[in-house]
Amino acid sequence: MQSSGTSRLHVGIIMDGNGRWAAARGLPRYAGHRAGAGAVRRAIEAAPGLGIATLTLFAFSSDNWRRPRDEVRALFGLLRRYLRSEVAQLAETGVRLSIIGRRDRLPDGLAAEIARAEGLTAGGRRLHVRVALDYSARDQILRAVAAAPRDAALTAETLSRLLDGGGPGADVDLLIRTSGEQRLSDFLLWECAYAELHFTPRLWPDFGQADLALAMQDFHGRQRRFGGLSPAGTAGDAATPARAAAG
Ligand code: FPP
């Protein structure tokens, strides 16, 4: 199956390389994160025109708590300012904002500001931007399993729905990672089961609309078979495990 050009796609981005961008300019790491916020704006602007319905951005992993206190404080300060300064514009342009990840360890008052931004943008239908904050995919999966009803067998659908932001559209179509690194770093592990992967050497603060367009072009050139065969190979009716075993 060639990826359809008209579908409303879910793209995840591991925004990497802010620190290296800053170091290359002799600037503090914080300056890289601030420039990264500019790249977030550009990606949000470009996404609807590229057929993207949902954009999930990895802004702070649960492992990022290991970073120096000043950098963590600066990152949350930046996120707080972003929420305050952008939310009206997001609402006006039909962008829904929501957060996935833990909310119980965020700095004072941030969870309330997030809830306010989510409320103000809830009606957005043009693009859904999900920001992953204090996020760990493994942690999400463990919590979903713990929250699953005990009186019925656990299915993939049930578990999907129990993940933050789970349900229809949660599966990722394309995962992008910038800065030349090629790993998943505990991001959307369940939702990326059939994601296409796109790695670019571009550092996140330099990532622009042309880079997103290129990633989408790469995606549309991929054959997605979801474990089956390409269309030329699917003339017969599909097997099931039992029918195939019966010969
Ligand atoms: C990884 O680069 C980036 C982060 C840990 C933070 C991402 C945050 C932003 C882009 C800030 C703005 C976000 C929003 C949603 C407004 P790194 O610091 O690990 O870079 P390095 O690998 O070069 O050191």
Q: What is the pLDDT of residues 121-167, one digit of tens each?
A: 999 999 999 999 999 999 999 999 999 999 989 999 999 999 998 87
State the average pLDDT over residues 174-179. 98
Predicted local confidence at residue 3, as pLDDT: 47
Flag whether pLDDT at 229 surpasses 70: yes
| Cβ(137)–Cβ(123) below 8 Å | no
Flag whether pLDDT at 247 surpasses 80: no
Higher pLDDT, 179 or 238: 179
Dist. CA 209 → ligand 1 center (Å):
18
166/158 Cα distance (integer angstroms): 9
2/7 Cα distance (integer angstroms): 12
Dist. CA 51 → ligand 1 center (Å):
25
Dump pLDDT digits (tens) for 99-120: 999 999 999 999 999 999 999 9
Long-range Cβ contacts of 67-74 (<8 Å, 24+ apart): 71/29, 71/30, 73/107, 74/29, 74/30, 74/33
* Pocket, ligand 1, Cβ cutoff 6 A: 15-20, 33, 36-37, 40, 57, 59, 64, 78-79, 82, 131, 179, 204
Dist. CA 60 → ligand 1 center (Å):
7
Told to judge if 18 belongs to the known catalytic residues of this protein, a careful annotator would answer: no
Higher pLDDT, 237 or 49: 49
State the average pLDDT over residues 169-178. 95
The two structure tokens encoding residue 158: 């049930």
Predicted local confidence at residue 168, as pLDDT: 78
Told to judge if 64 belongs to the known catalytic residues of this protein, a careful annotator would answer: yes
- What class has domain 9-220? alpha beta
Dump pLDDT digits (tens) for 35-83: 999 999 999 999 999 999 999 999 999 999 999 999 999 999 999 999 9
